Structure formats: C-alpha cells, structure tokens
Amino acid sequence: MKKVGSNAITLGEVTFLLVGSMVGVGILSLPNDLVVLSKQDAWISAFIGAIYPLYMVIIASILCKMNPKNNILILSKKCFGKIIGSILNIVFLLYFLLLTTAIAFQVSLIKWTLIVHFLSLQKILIVILSLAAYTAIKGLKVLARINQLMFVLTIILSLILCTALFEGKYLNILPILGSGILNIVKASKQSSFAYGGIEIIFLIYPFITDKTKIMKASIKSVLITALLYTWITFITIYYIGIDIIPKMLWSVNMVAKTVQIPVVNNFKFIFLVVWALIICKTISNNYFAVALILKDFFIKTEIKKIIYIIYPLILYLALQYSNLSTCSSFLNYIIPKYTLFNIAYVTIITLIIYLKKDNQNEN
C-alpha cells in the first residue's frame, strides 16, 4: 500500500521531480541568455547545456550505488571530516538558498510586471513563498506528485506554442551552425541557471524506493528537460528572430501571442498565469532542499519547524535583489562559479568514496 504522507518516492516520481526542479523561471528568458553568443543556433546550445545535469545525475547514480542510504551531506562529512564537510555542506546549502530566492524574486518580478502590477513586490513574494513553504511541509512524496501534475501542464503549454510554427519564418533559424561551433559550446554555459536545481538528486536519492534504475530515470528527466529547452528556444528564435529577442525580458512569453482563442484578447496573460503555477513547484522543490540540508545540521528539530523558521529569512533575502538587472548580474557572476563548485564537490566526494571502498575491499 502506498502512503501519501511518507517520503519514499518511486522512480517515475523521481523523473518528474528532477524535471520540475530544473524547469522553472529560467526557461522564460533562456533564449535571451543564449542568443548573445550563439545567435540563431541558440537552440543547439540549449541542448548541449544538458551535459552539466547529465554529468550530475550520472555521478549521483554512481554515488547511490556505492552508498544507497546516505545522501551527499553525510558522505561529505565522512570524506572531509566533520568541520570541513559541514562547511562544504553550508556552501551547498547556500546554492539552494540562492536558487530559491532568485527564482522567487524573478517570478514575482514577472508577475508584478505582467500580471498584477497593482500589488507590491513584497506581497507577491509573501504569497509565493507561503505556497512553496506549504508544499515543502507536505513532504517529498507530495512534492513529487505536484511536480508530476505540473509536468503535464508544462507539456501542454509547450505544445500550445506549436501555433507559432505557422506564423514564424524558417529564415530566422538559418544558417544552421552558422555562428560557429565554438560559440555554440561557449553559449551553452549560459544555460546553467536554467538547468540548475538538478543537484537536488544528491539529497533525495536515499528516499527512492527502487535504487537499481536511478540512472535510467534521472537521465530520462535530463533528456526531457533538454528537449523542452531546445524546443522552446527553437520556437522563440523561429518566431521572433534573434534581433528582437534581446529587446525583450522574457522572450518566450511573446511566442504565446500567436495563440488565438475567443473571448480573450491576449493569450500571453493566460500563458503566464499557468506558467506561474509551474514555477511555484520549482520554488517549492528548492525550498524543500534548503530545509532538508538544514535538517542535517539540526537533526532533532522537525523539518516543519525548520520550514517555518527559514521563511522570513528567505523572504528577506529574496527582497535584497531589488531589481532585475542586479539580480541577473549577480546570477551571471555567481552561477558559473557555483556550477564549478558543484561539479568539484560531487566529483571529489565520489572519488574519495570510491577509493575508500577499494581500500576496504583490499583490507
């Protein structure tokens, strides 16, 4: 019998949870980040960018095979000792804190700009973060299920954008590979914010019920995300063209304009309202990750209390971005560094655990 309240999640739910952790606010401005370098080939960059999450999930499944019961926090303490391990864990914690606050801030900014301009940013943030906290309290299982439901919405919304196929121009994406392979690869670095959030797999793999097929499930999630990003970037370039994309903050939203439905003037609004629902779950995932890492430090405290306590902190931090340009320049500065840190952090831990295991076997 499958209990809803528990934390154990199935393989299918892992796939959707990982897709849900990645697909969020980044996608709305992904073409903007990519076209700067790779021009009309930005959609290829979006696909290549998936190498980072792919690497992460492969490492995660290797780690899981060696140590199925302990997540990365315990392993890092094992490898580096209690003090250094804890410091590294805090750095890892800050990454999720960064994601939570950055996504929450960007979402509230989008909502403030395009949906509810009569509300203040604080009010929007309070509402969004309350929703995220409420979801996080319900536990990992519910989180996975809400991700699954939102995935359906994500797919529907992405497919709706097909209508742009009739209105765009194929000349917009030509010449393919014209911007040079080097530029395409370089640009793919810019997608790391959009792919950020995959790191949650290092925290949740002990909860997965069937640990033998984690690799397959997580690679599936990366592939789905990569295809989604490629499609969205492609259709945006196809419809709007690379010259206009940089002039818009959230260019993907513009593509929604092509959908015509009766009684409503503007489908962009509906698109954003539904997309805002989808982003809520990304914030919830990251919020939960923050609480989960903190739980490792305060083992005796209930996770519910942690979620309540960090709520004001997250709200305060999210408000510190103050505007979009500070936010994006800060993210541009910090995200590549964090990506490197994450890669190093998990790789080194995996290597040490692997070597230790070898030693044990020899002994």
Question: Where on the chain is the footprint of another protein (CB under 8 A)?
Answer: 1-5, 10, 12-13, 111, 115-116, 118-119, 123-124, 127-128, 130-131, 134-135, 138-139, 142, 145-146, 148-149, 152, 263-266, 269, 273, 276-277, 280-281
- Judged by beta carbon, residue 77 or residue 111, the one nearer another protein is 111
Cα–Cα distance measured from residue 271 to residue 48, given in angstroms and rounded to the nearest whole number? 27
Buried b (16+ CB within 10 A) or exposed e, 243-272: eebeeebbbbbbbbbbbeeeeeeebbeebb
State the nearest-atom distance from the C-beta of 109 to another protein, in Å.
13
Complex with another protein: residue 94 or 116, whichever CB lies closer: 116
Q: State the nearest-atom distance from the C-beta of 67 to another protein, in Å.
A: 27
Nearest Cα to 10, choosing from 219, 291, 292, 205?
205
**Residue 64 or 133 having the CB closest to another protein:** 133
Q: Do the beta carbons of residue 59 and residue 346 sit within 8 Å?
A: yes
Q: Is 16 left (phi over 0), alpha (psi -120 to 50) or beta?
A: alpha
- We find the least distance from the C-beta atom of residue 268 to another protein, in angstroms, to be 10
- Helix ranges, 190-247 (H): 192-195, 201-204, 214-240
- 1: exposed, middle or buried (Cβ count in 10 Å: 0-12, 13-18, 19+): exposed
Contact 12, 187 (CB under 8 A): no
Closest approach of another protein to the CB of residue 228, in Å: 19
Closest to another protein by CB, 108 vs 230, is 108
Give me the least distance between CB of 285 and another protein, in Å please.
13
Minimum CB distance to another protein, residue 292 (Å):
18
Residue with smaller CB distance to another protein, 4 or 83 = 4
Query: CA-CA distance, 77 to 86, in Å (whole number)?
Result: 6
Considering the complex, state which of residue 77 and residue 281 has its C-beta at the smaller distance from another protein. Answer: 281
